[in-house]
Structure formats: structure tokens, C-alpha cells
Amino acid sequence: MRKVYLDYNATTPALPEVVQKMLPYFTEKFGNSSSLHSFGQDAVAAAKKAAAQVAALLSATPEEIIFTSGGAEANYLAVSGSVRLLPRNKKIKLITSQVEHNSIYKQCRRLEQENIEVIYLPVDCEGLIKPETLNNAITPDTSLISLILANNETGTIQDFKSIAKIASRHKIKLHWDAVQAAGKMSIDVNELGADLLSISGHKLYGPKGSGALYVRNDGQQPKFYTDTQNVPAIAGFGAACEIALANLDAYTAHCRKLRDRLEYKIRQIAPQAKINGCAASRICNTLNISFPGYYSRALAEQLDREGIAVSAGSACDAKKDEVSRVLKAMGLPPLMLFGALRFSVGKDTNAADIDYTVEKLAEIFITALDSDGFTEIINPEIL
């Protein structure tokens, strides 16, 4: 049976070159970066090199890079860390959106329990925030704007230029969750107007357990330190960022070609299917598509039995039976919500993978229609 992985937004395999960069720091270069001797200084040098590699991917400086255990920790440091530095004798207001990753959304819900006001901006049917909606939500109490740059479920890229102008005009710190964007589009923290920006290693062919928070160096930013750095992961993460930057144009072209091939062929076998997200502003590898009348979880399970890995939602919600909060915020009707699948292609995806996937999808649809006992088709009357 053919094995096809189309869930690169959930995680990517570490590149062999990345693993090779990591190996010495498990063995002969095992020193603690807090130590002053030569073993420790080898680790310090590896971390400094990785900081430069990450910074280059973001058009930042190495001094502005803080290594974390992943995107979730970077997001936590950006939002909750910023809040903790604010005087608690003044009213605090944060602005985010209804389509954020859970690592932002859930911590904002927790912050509300601390009497911090959080505004969750609505989005339109393509998942886009209207700049005027953001502008109208800002008050003198607004301390931070935290938004996802490229959505992990739909791939929709926000109008970052307009958002950056608004944040700058009001002199409000702006945080971008760029976990799904890094390695799939050009990232320039200055163009983004970013004061803070989060990325993750395992989304761009680096090791799990690695990530970074960019913090703009304006002479007032605090520094975060860890006692013992995860040097193997940091070295691998830096290497992955360097490779991502060097291959960005070729990688995005490869993914876009295959994503578009998949979309075209699915439309041929399922003309009733609907693409979710913004077609004009979407990361290169992501296709979120609703099959009205079908349960996405059932479709994903059937595809898995054929050796094809896709997602019925974001990875952090994969074990839940709830419909997507992101798609619900976009106003999808029930039939579209229950039938949404996310396909995300990557470096090792090829045309044969796409064709095999569409072939098996077509077989599943035919079986569903021909079988009186097929119970995974949604009855619209129950919604």
C-alpha cells in the first residue's frame, strides 16, 4: 500500500542535514552552555550560530532571538510575558482574533480570569480581519495586539501591512504568531511591524522541542535566559532555518504547484466541495476544503486506511469531536463545518501522491453513495 503524508502543517520530518548538525552536541560536544570551560564554550558557539541563522530567516539580529521549546512557549512568552511586565494598577487590554491557534486563544481566556480585557476580532468568510475592525477596537488601554500571520487550518495570510500601520500609528506592541508562516513565505520583522514574533522548529523540517521568540531590540526589552540550553535542538533549529531561507523560492513553488494540482483534481471529482480560506492570500502548501454531506473525521479515517495522512482539524484538536473554531468563526454552515479536511503538502510530496489521494477519495465517495449501510454521510435534516 502506498504511504502518502499530507499533514505537513501538523509537523515535518527533520531533514537529514539537520540531524547531522545535532548529533555532535549529544556526544563529543555535550557541554553545558552555562559553563566557562571549553566544553561549555562549544555549546555557546553553537547557540550563537543558531541565533544568527534564525535571525537571518526573519531579517532580524541575533541579539533579538530567544530560544524556546517550541511555538507554544514562544507564544506564551509573547502574550503572558508581556502582560506580566505591565503595571497591574492600570487597566490592561489585549486584542487578538477569533481564529488564533489554541496556544494564544486559551491563554487569552485564562488572562480574562485575571480581569484583563481581551477583544477577539471577528473575521470575514475568508478568515481575514478587516483593518478597520482592528482600528476601531483600539482604546488607550490597549497594550498588545497578538495575531496569527498565516492560519494553521486554512492557510489564510492576514493583511499584515495594514495591521502593522495601525499598530504603529497607535504605538501598540504587535505580536505575530508566525509558526505556520515561517519557511513558507518571506518573513521580515520590519515589514511585519513586529515587536514580537513566534516560530517553531518542527514546522520547517527542524527538531521537535525547538522554537524561538523574536523580541525587537529597542533598548528596553527584557532578556530571558534558561539555565541549561537544549543545544542539540537549537543547533538543529538553526540549520533548518538556514536551509529554509536558502530554498524558500524553490520550496514555495514546489508546494504551490502540488497544492493547486490537488485542488483542481478534487474539484473534478467533487464539484460541490468548497475551498475554505482566502485564495488570493494563502500560504503555498495548504488546502482546507469542505465536502458537504460527509463527516471529515470519517473521511480522514478512510483515507488513513488507504495509507493517506490528512487532518480533520488542527493537530492540537485532532482527538476532539468538536467542529473547528476557526471555520465556525468564518461563518461556515453546519454541512461545511462537519465536512472540512485539511491537506498540507511538503518537501517530499510528489504528483503521484496527489493523484493517488484523489483516486482514493473518488473511491470513498462512490462507496458512500452506493452503500445503503454507509452511516458517515450527514443527514442535513439532523443539523
Residue intervals of the chain classified under CATH 3.40.640.10 are 16-246
For residue 350, pLDDT over 70 is answered with yes
What pLDDT is attached to residue 374?
42
**DSSP H or E run through 287:** strand 286-290
Candidates 71, 262, 58, 17; CA nearest to 180 is 71
Between these two residues, 222 and 232, which has the higher pLDDT value? 232
CATH code, residues 16-246 = 3.40.640.10
Q: In a 3-state reduction of DSSP, which class is residue 174?
A: strand
Active site residues: 316
Candidates 342, 289, 310, 284; CA nearest to 157 is 284
DSSP secondary structure string for all residues of 231-248: HHHHHHHHHHHHHHHHTH
Q: What is the pTM of this model?
A: 0.92
For residue 321, pLDDT over 60 is answered with no
Of 83-92, 284-293, 318-327, 351-360, the range with the lowest mean pLDDT is 318-327
Alpha helices by DSSP H, the chain: 16-22, 38-58, 71-84, 102-112, 131-137, 160-170, 231-246, 248-269, 296-305, 325-329, 334-338, 351-370
Pick the CATH number of 4-12+248-378 from 3.90.1150.10, 3.40.50.300, 3.90.45.10, 3.40.50.720: 3.90.1150.10
A 10 A CB-CB count for 44 gives 17
Contact (CB, 8 A) for 206 and 230: no
374, three cell numbers: 454507509
Checking DSSP bridges between strand 93-97 and strand 117-121, what pairing results, if any?
parallel
Candidates 106, 108, 190; CA nearest to 145 is 108
- The tens digit of pLDDT for each residue in 51-67 reads 999 999 999 999 999 99
- The tens digit of pLDDT for each residue in 80-129 reads 999 988 887 788 999 999 999 999 999 999 999 999 999 999 999 999 99
